[in-house]
Structure 1
Amino acid sequence: MIKKWLAVLILTCLMFVGIGIKPSQAATSQFIIINKSTNQLAYYENGKLYKVFKVATGKSPSLTPEGKFKVVNKIVNRPYYTGHIPGGDPRNPLGNRWLGLNARGTWGTTYAIHGNNNPSSIGKYVSHGCVRMYDNEVEWLFDRVKLSTPVVITTSSKSFDSIANANGYKVTSSSGGSNAVIPTGTVLKKGNRGATVKKLQQKLTVLGYSTKGIDGIFGNNTDQAVRKFQKDRHLKVDGIVGPATIKALGGL
């Protein structure tokens, strides 16, 4: 009788453990999209775009794998085995955080979202396949992301919300997200005011171009943010938000 009771208890415990590790339940409220065409990483939480980061990806298109993956391990100060550099060493090109992905038959040992000891490389196509971030930003992501969080890597001209929907994720757009819509035909420049300027400021801020406030006033700070965005997108750097800049923002 005691043996039978123990068997039932063990089976019950195993069932609860199994439930606890199902990927579909472990990270349903989170997912990540990496768009290689813009070298940006979008973090979604509870169906909403929460934050967008600049990243670096492979020096050639084939190096950084595309598809749907999962975060399968999380390592603080991972050693750089190839160069025999210990974790935490300032020379370590992997930075201070490693989010391993199960890409191309590997299990978080080869491909990852990780930090970097060369901040000037972020935003460029320079890696051997991994996705690089600024150390302070990957720390934030590392603390937030759970194991089994889905990661979509793609090359696309679409907005993050469109990519999410195409991959089966239901999202809720908000005026503060990077998918906020700016009306077609709009031209904005320094001196403009209003709700459309506010949407522009919200969008730039989420994309990592701070306007130092979202007040609906196109002043010096918004002008500088627009110019930085235009420079990074290889657009005409004039501070004027016309059709080309709006298209690059993903607002149309």
Structure 2
Amino acid sequence: MKLKNIALVLGILVVSLSFMAKPAEAAQNEAIIINKSSNQLAFYEKGKLQKVFPVATGKTKGLTPEGKFTLVNKVKNRPWYKGNIPGGDPRNPLGARWLGLKVPGDWGHTSGNVYGVHGTNNSSSIGTYASNGCIRMHNKDVIWLYDRADHNIPVYITSTSTSFTALADKYGVGKAKKVVAGYEAFNETLRYGSKGESVKILQRKLSITADGSFGPQTLKAVKKFQKSKGLVADGIVGPNTRKALFSK
């Protein structure tokens, strides 16, 4: 009888621990990384980079806080209380979606109502330093993110020249290291006009929007990378550029 009771207790303990582990695993595999240096936001799901978006951050360096935070608040068409403008109004500067961040030390405000990732009614500001501390996105982009980002995932904000792939490794985002080793490589020569999965891999390595189309933005990023590595900045991703891209 005692053995049965002990087995029952152990069984309950194992099940309880398994449920406790799930949130931690989910948090490790899903994350948002924001780089103020390039004004870009990367979303990782299941340890894999899904998309990179252009954003707007603080007018001055200190306005948008840096560090590890948590997504704690999600609101559709949030009103702009300061200006008394209702949600969904074209004049509302918060746009279509609000993803609030828990930022400790913000005068005690940790409910996700002060700092957030949100849409905007001023699309021309995206890519610039224009906000009072929040992270702005195009409305279509923030809607995409809102539908996929779960509550309590980590949000990392930094300012660096480091790639998102390296940042994901640094922050321990899920299976990022294994995924990169498995598919972040290609052997073909890419140039302006190229399309396909290899272009997406190139774009992810350069931390720009991975749309699979080698256009002006990709050409500019490739030339900048080539110049930084002392290569001929011709915008063509041949053997030497590929070697520099994938070298550790």
Instruction: Give yes or no for TM over 0.5.
Output: yes
Hey, what does 2:165 align to over in structure 1? Answer: 161
- Please give the residue correspondences for 1:34-113 in structure 2 after superposition, counting only pairs within 5 Å: 34-105=34-105, 106=109, 107-113=111-117
1:71-99 CA distances to partner (integer Å, 9 max, x unpaired)?
01100111111111111100000001000
Per the TM alignment, residue 157 of structure 1 is displaced from its structure 2 partner at its CA by 1.3
Give CA-to-partner distance per residue, 1:152-182, whole Å, 9 cap, x none: 00011111122122223341344898xx468
The structure in which a higher percent of residues are helix is 2
CA positional deviation for 1:125? 0.7
- Distance of 1:192 and 1:78 partners within structure 2: 41
Q: Does the aligned pair in 1 maintain the 2:40–2:53 contact within 8 Å? A: yes
Cα pair 2:56 2:137 within 8 Å, conserved: yes
Deviation track 1:124-167 (CA, whole Å, cap 9, x = no partner) reads 11110000001011001101111101100001111112212222
Contact 1:78-1:87 within 8 A present in 2 as well: yes
Q: Which position in structure 1 is the counterpart of 2:125?
A: 121
Could you tell me which residue of structure 2 aligns to residue 216 of structure 1?
none
- For the 8 Å contact 1:95–1:135, the answer to whether it is kept is yes
Corresponding residue number in structure 1 for 2:29: 29
Output the CA distance in 2 between the equivalents of 1:232 and 1:98.
34
Q: Give ranges in structure 2 of 5+ residues lacking alignment.
A: 1-11, 228-232
* TM-score normalised by structure 1 residue count: 0.69
> 8 Å contact 1:98–1:113 — kept in the other structure?
yes
User: In the TM superposition, what are the counterparts of 1:141-160 in structure 2 within 5 Å?
Assistant: 141-160=145-164
Does the CA-based 8 Å contact 1:204-1:225 persist in structure 2?
Answer: no
- Residues of 1 paired with 2:245 and 2:135: CA distance? 22
The C-alpha deviation readout for 1:102-125, integer Å capped at 9, x for no partner, is 014322011000000111111111
**Aligned-pair distance for 1:29?**
3.0
For 1:231 and 1:81, how far apart are their aligned partners in 2? Answer: 45
Alignment coverage as a number of residue pairs: 214
**Structure 1 residues 242 and 202 mapped into 2: Cα distance closer, same or farther (>3 Å)?**
closer
Q: The residue matched to 2:127 in structure 1 has which SS?
A: coil
Pairwise CA RMSD: 3.9
Question: Is the contact between residue 55 and residue 135 of structure 2 (CA under 8 Å) also seen in structure 1?
Answer: yes
Provide the C-alpha distance between the structure 1 equivalents of 2:191 and 2:46, rounded to a whole number of angstroms.
34
SS at structure 2 position matched to 1:163:
helix
Hey, what's the Cα distance between the residues in 2 that align with 1:119 and 1:156? 24
Q: Aligned pair in 2 of structure 1 residues 90, 27: CA closer, same or farther (>3 Å)?
A: same
State yes or no: 1:240 paired with 2:235.
yes
For 2:121, what is the secondary structure of its paired residue?
A: coil
Which residue of structure 1 lines up, in the alignment, with residue 198 of structure 2?
Answer: 199
CA pair 75-231 structure 1, distance change in 2 beyond 3 A: farther
The percent identity for this pair of structures is: 44
Note closer, same or farther for the CA distance 1:223–1:80 as it changes in structure 2 (3 Å cut). Answer: closer
